[in-house]
Structure 1
Amino acid sequence: MSDPMPHARQGLSNRRWLLMTTVVPYPLLAVLTGVTVAMRRSNGHSFTVDLALCALTAAWMLWMFTLHPAWRERPRVMGLFVGVLIVLVAILVLRNPWFSLFTPACYFYSFRLLPWPWELAAIAGVAIVAGTAQASPIPKTNVYGVLGYLAVLAVNVLPMCGLAWLGRKSDEHDELREQALAEVREANRRLEASMAENAGLQQQLLTQAREAGVSDERQRMAREIHDTLAQGLTGIITQLQAAEQFADDQAQWRRHVQAATRLARESLSEARRSVHALRPEALEAARLSEALADVAERWSALHGIEVQVATTGKARPMPPEADVALLRTAQEALANVAKHARATKVGLTLSYMENEVALDVRDNGRGFEPDGPGDGAGPPDAGDEGPRRPDAGAQSGGFGLVAMRQRIESLSGTLQIESERGVGTAISACLPAAPAGTGA
């Protein structure tokens, strides 16, 4: 009897139900008592026992149900209440069949107060009492009388028990619906919590993406400024210093001043293109190999150092960012040669291989002593101050090789630097390439 009470599931606050269980039974019992007294007195029979039974029935309902509302939530107490009430009404029916008119109150109590399956047993008991009252005129001294009595009982018991079973199924359906609604509410709550959490994560990701974008843009601008303005200004200063040395030679002075002017214009143009994230001008109307040849030719004319440019393998289109990275690597390598190497000859080779594209820049300059093979964190060649560590450039403020490495590695490529004192330096940048015959 631990199942939840039906009346608790449906609500005791329903006024109609309260009226039928707390008010109606008493006037009904009073009317039947009055009828009993009248009938007994007219027949000359004593009605003391009937009055006592009616009073006991009223007192039982008043004490067990009306005066103790809290007991209605206790299945065992209500089971005792309904069971004793059915017994009292059965005794009254056996003495006076018209007390069967009180059985509807018993039905209400059974339907509303008892859990399943005690509800079914109580309803069957009430139906038997009602059927007994209805069959009181039938003589039960023969088989036909007994069969008629049983038929009357069946007519009462089966429909009422069927109604109780349908009510139980309805209760189960309501319970399942409430459970489903509770699960839906819980799912909605979890969904709202997940959506709130996802919104927080999305905001966090947006913040991280914004910070990463700002960082990437700063690095891009730093590389572009180094590759355009810094190199251009260095070249301009070099040409102007050279022009000062030829102040008495108008032809040489004019040549260096014109070179400085050309470098200034080119640097300004490249700076504007960098701000707008455009490709270098050398790659706008030419392929990478042609752009490298043009850069090498202008660099050789500016610094008076011989440059040999070669392309091996079958040239094929590359992604724009790969072309830019290799072109900027070549420009930075040539700038380092001009600043540090004191070389007389430079070789630049672009190699298209099956799975990668490689750019090699070699010079016959002074070289330096790296800490280990392939270590390229610093400048490829030392200056007048002698051999330098590979990271010396970075420590002294240089950004060239750092930017060079960032460009290449950001495209899943590799950058290697090999150098030897008195022999020269070789820089090799390799990028993965699309298979031959495919587009960029």
Structure 2
Amino acid sequence: MLRIDVWDRAWRILPLVLLGVAALIAVTDPSVPPRDRAVTAALSAAVAVWHWWMVLAHPHWPERTLAPMALYFAGFIVLTWALFSRHPVYGLLVLACFPTAFATLPGRYAYLGVAATAIVIVGGPLALLDAGDPWPIVLALSGAALAAFIGWSIRALETEVKRRNAANRALESANRALESANLRLAQLGEENAELQGKLLAAARQTGVAGERGRLAREIHDTVAQGLAGIVTQLEAAEEAANDAETVRRRLAVARDLARESLTEVRRSLDDLRPGPLAETRLPEALSALVSGWGAANELPATLTVTGTARLLHPEVEVALYRAVQEALANVTRHAGAGKIGVTLSYMEDVVVADVRDDGVGFTPSEAGGSESGGGGFGLTAMRQRVVRLAGNVEVESAPGQGTAISVTVPAIPAAAEREAT
């Protein structure tokens, strides 16, 4: 952009340089009378002042403001014609009018300035009216065409240079913006590193809380339920104290429950996965759980499996197994049921476990969602376990109409565990 400014200033100074050379020659020409030389010098000074004031003193006018530049060029061309008429050396100034037209007049008006200059070259408008001599017209048209072509070429070159300069400025601006963005990214990287440290600390705290909750659920699902079953059998044996066979049978069941609980505790210390699921599939594990519960409580209990059974992610199978186990424990403690039915339904996207009994029922809104009447830890743990898998637990019950617990979890395949590892 600096080079274009230099060239623009050079074109605007050029008339003064040529005017000075022509004036120096004219005022020192001994063939010209002194009085004519004085008039020529005065006119030259007038042209110099006119050009300086209109062009150099107001650099924002040339090529931008039509009115003052049109006035300037009209005055400049008239004064130049007058000087050229007084001395032929001012032909240098006339020639300077060609580039001056493009350096001062905006847009297409520069070509009108070129035409006016061509008229001055051939001797003025009167020369064009001389029909007997066509050469002035030919010369005027030829000179105007040549000057217009040269001026157009210069303007096209300047336009291209300006376009490239603008592109370079845009590129430089983009580079500065990129450097600023890189600096900002570096700052964000530092901030992210600090934030990541905070997140890791928060994750550790969350992990500790989650692990505590998980251990609480596992303890409830193993030791607590086993102890509850043992207490139930011992209470039943106490009530049947006069029936030795019943007492023996209840004590045997309590002993088996104690052994199973001990086995579960030992197994939970290893990997916290329900023992029945360690070596068998979910339907078989639930079948053993339901039949064992029915035998222990001397109640008819059935398991129905619908859909195509398939191996699921361990956490899904654990959640379903623990949910059925908790529901059966609630029936034992609170339902007073005569029979119970468990349904395991394999669907395309979800697996549903339903546990229904014909017990006394309750009002879920009044009982806090738990058959125990207080929203106990068992159902809460069940919900927490299921919600972790993006599943849900629904409880339907009414006084005297039994209870139905439905657990729905996504059917995450076992392959997901291998991919995760």
Q: Please, what TM-score do these two structures have when normalized by structure 2? A: 0.69
CA deviations on 1:282-327 (whole Å, 9 max, x unpaired) are 33432221011233355567x5454633224343326425433322
C-alpha distance in structure 2 between counterparts of 1:64 and 1:55, whole Å: 14
Classify the secondary structure of the residue corresponding to 2:395. strand
Residue correspondence of structure 1 range 196-345 to structure 2 within 5 A: 221=211, 224-235=214-225, 237-238=227-228, 259-260=257-258, 262-270=260-268, 272-274=270-272, 280-297=274-291, 299=293, 304-306=297-299, 308-317=301-310, 319-320=312-313, 322-341=316-335, 345=339
Structure 2 Cα separation of the partners of residues 238 and 189 of structure 1: 70
Contact 1:376–1:416 (Cα < 8 Å) also in 2: no
Q: How does 1:24-423 map to 2 (within 5 A)?
A: 25-39=15-29, 41=31, 46-66=36-56, 75=65, 76-132=67-123, 143=132, 146-170=133-157, 221=211, 224-235=214-225, 237-238=227-228, 259-260=257-258, 262-270=260-268, 272-274=270-272, 280-297=274-291, 299=293, 304-306=297-299, 308-317=301-310, 319-320=312-313, 322-341=316-335, 345-352=339-346, 357-363=351-357, 365=359, 367-371=360-364, 377-380=368-371, 382=372, 388=373, 392-393=374-375, 398-405=376-383, 415-419=393-397, 421=399
Determine if contact 1:36/1:96 at 8 Å carries over to the other structure.
Answer: yes
Q: Distance in 2 between matches of 1:300 and 1:212?
A: 46
Aligned counterparts of 2:387 and 2:231: Cα–Cα separation in 1? 36
Distance 2:352 2:58 in 1: 96
* CA positional deviation for 1:97: 2.8
Offset from partner CA, 1:385-423 (integer Å, 9 cap, x none): xxx3xxx21xxxx23323434555676766443445566
TM superposition shift of 1:29: 2.4
Q: Is the 8 A contact 2:4 2:158 kept in 1?
A: no
- Contact 1:305 1:345 survives alignment (8 Å): no
Listed as ranges, the gaps of 5+ residues in structure 1 are: 1-8, 383-387, 435-440
Q: Distance in 1 between matches of 2:53 and 2:400?
A: 117
Counterpart of 2:101 in structure 1: which amino acid? Answer: S
On the 8 A contact 1:305/1:344 being kept in 2, the answer is no
Evaluate the alpha carbon distance shift between residue 20 and residue 183 of structure 1 in structure 2; reply closer, same or farther with a 3 A threshold.
Answer: closer
Q: 1:257 to 1:221 in 2, by over 3 A?
A: same
Q: Quote how far apart the aligned CAs of 1:330 are.
A: 0.4
The alpha-carbon distance between structure 1 residues 422 and 168, as it changes in their structure 2 partners (threshold 3 A), is same
TM-superposed CA distance for 1:30, in Å, is 3.4
| CA displacement, residues 2-23 of structure 1 (integer Å, 9 cap, x when unaligned) | xxxxxxx878852x5545544x
* Structure 2: distance between partners of 1:38 and 1:131: 26
Cα distance change on mapping 1:283 and 1:216 into 2, 3 Å: farther
C-alpha change, 1:210 and 1:78, in structure 2 (3 Å) is: farther
Structure 2 CA distance for partners of 1:46 and 1:220, relative to 1, 3 Å: closer
Paired residues of 1:40 and 1:46 also in contact (CA < 8 A): no
1:147–1:322 CA distance, 2 compared to 1 (3 A) = same
Distance in 2, matches of 1:360 and 1:244, equals 29
**Which residue in 1 is equivalent to 2:404?**
426
CA positional deviation for 1:127: 3.5
CA distance 1:215–1:181, change in 2 (3 Å): farther
Three-state SS of the structure 2 residue aligned to 1:400 is helix
Give 1:64 shift: 3.4
Equivalent residue letter for 2:69: M
CA contact (8 A) 2:47 2:76 kept: yes
Paired AA for residue 116 in structure 2: G
Q: Distance in 2 between matches of 1:404 and 1:35?
A: 112
Q: Secondary structure at the match of 1:378?
A: coil
In 2, the alpha carbon distance for the partners of 1:85 and 1:178 equals: 33
* Percent of matched pairs sharing the same residue: 28
Question: Where does structure 2 lack aligned partners over 5 or more consecutive residues?
Answer: 238-246, 413-421
Assess if the C-alpha contact under 8 Å between 1:312 and 1:350 holds in 2: yes
Deviation at 1:153, TM superposition (A): 1.4
> Do the aligned partners of 1:140 and 1:149 also contact (CA within 8 Å) in 2?
no
One-letter amino acid of the structure 1 residue matched with residue 145 of structure 2 = L
Question: What is the CA–CA distance in structure 2 between the aligned matches of 1:419 and 1:132, rounded to whole Å?
Answer: 117
Determine helix, strand or coil for the equivalent of 1:41: coil
How big is the shift at 1:363? 3.8
Q: Secondary structure at the match of 2:308?
A: coil
Length, aligned pairs only: 390
TM-score (norm 1): 0.66
Q: What is the letter of the counterpart of residue 230 of structure 1?
A: H
